[in-house]
A = this chain, B = another copy of it.
Amino acid sequence: MIRFGVLGAGRIGKVHARTIAASKQATVAYLADAMPEAAASLAAEVGAMVASVEDIIKAKDVDAVLIATPTGTHADLIEAASNAGKAILCEKPVSLSVERILACLKVVEKNKSNLMIGFNRRFDPNFAALAHRLHAGAIGNLELATIISRDPAPPPADYVKGSGGLFRDMMIHDFDLARFLVGEEFVTVHALGSALVDEAIGAAGDVDTAAVHMQTASGKIAVITNSRRATYGYDQRIEVHGSKGMLRAGNVHNTTVELANADGFQGDPVLNFFTERYGQAYANEVLAFIDGMAKGVSARPNGHDGLQAQKLADAATESWSSGKPVKVG
């Protein structure tokens, strides 16, 4: 039985703690949160004990630490857990600073720690099935990957200010997906961005509508578009085109019900909430980490993947800001 210490009992911490508790291979031994009531309530639900972050990290009966605390604490907690010999599953990102990530990964490397970063979309059943078939050769040589991601509704401008900006906060998932799908590093990044959805986002120095395209050294191209608002739900699509064909993974609709009348044929909006749309992805991510531990291997995406995605997010941010393409790597 793998014993977890869960740091953070917020929205994602809860989701992950429940997955661990439901697993037959793992259990939540301890749980920490800055808000004692949140910690107590979740601990009761999953059968864990409440403890401090420090105590959890140094606890001898903890095998793995799941980090679901605010972004600013990730790198420090990874280092501490790594030094304490724990396996680590950390929510994305390691840090908004590439320098900080590099320093953190040095510690992880020195300790040969098992570190997995929570880019959950790789584990979405639809995207994972697409990637599996892509990597098995279903479309031959991939030439062009297209990723569309549109949030149901924009975040408050206040959130935007501390988020690092759309490219680091939202599109980073797509950067990871693009690397995962294409299987090569991108060397050129160019970004366009506008604040069209909410003026306040523009006033806060960020964008809410963006397009990035990137190219690998061998010429493969990835195109990512993001919007902070989609009236029809949480729009999440992938399409990869190659020498032998095309694979795409579409949205998940609320139901399969369709109404036909003089206005046409109308199906449902798509799933609206990320915890619903990606609920299975979050669970599969944690199960992949547990499965890796059981087998003694480090599951991907690892710290290096986290670093590379952050570099692409930085490059896109710089390109948007300067108007010029940015070379990476």
Counting chain B CB atoms within 10 Å of each CB, the highest count among A190, A209, A255, A324 belongs to A255
Q: What is the CB-to-nearest-CB distance from A166 to chain B, in angstroms, rounded to a whole number? A: 13
Q: Is A251 a contact of B256 with CB atoms below 8 Å?
A: yes
Q: In the complex the two chains form, what is the Cα distance from A60 to B323 in whole Å? A: 55
Contact residues of A between 225 and 278, Cβ < 8 Å to B: 225, 227, 229-232, 235, 241, 243-269
Contact indicator A213/B215 (Cβ below 8 Å): no
A244 near B231 (CB under 8 angstroms)?
Answer: yes
Query: Which partner residue on chain B sits nearest A238 by CB separation?
Result: B257
A14 within 8 A of B: no
Nearest chain B residue, comparing its CB with the CB of A232:
B260
Flag the segment in A94-102, A216-224, A288-296, A299-307 that touches B.
Answer: A216-224
Would A262 and B231 count as touching, CB distance under 8 A? yes
Distance in Å from the Cβ of A264 to the closest Cβ of chain B?
5
A contact residues vs B (CB 8 Å cutoff): 125-126, 129-130, 133, 138-139, 141, 143-144, 146, 148, 150, 188, 190, 192, 194-197, 209-211, 213-215, 219-221, 223, 225, 227, 229-232, 235, 241, 243-269, 323-325
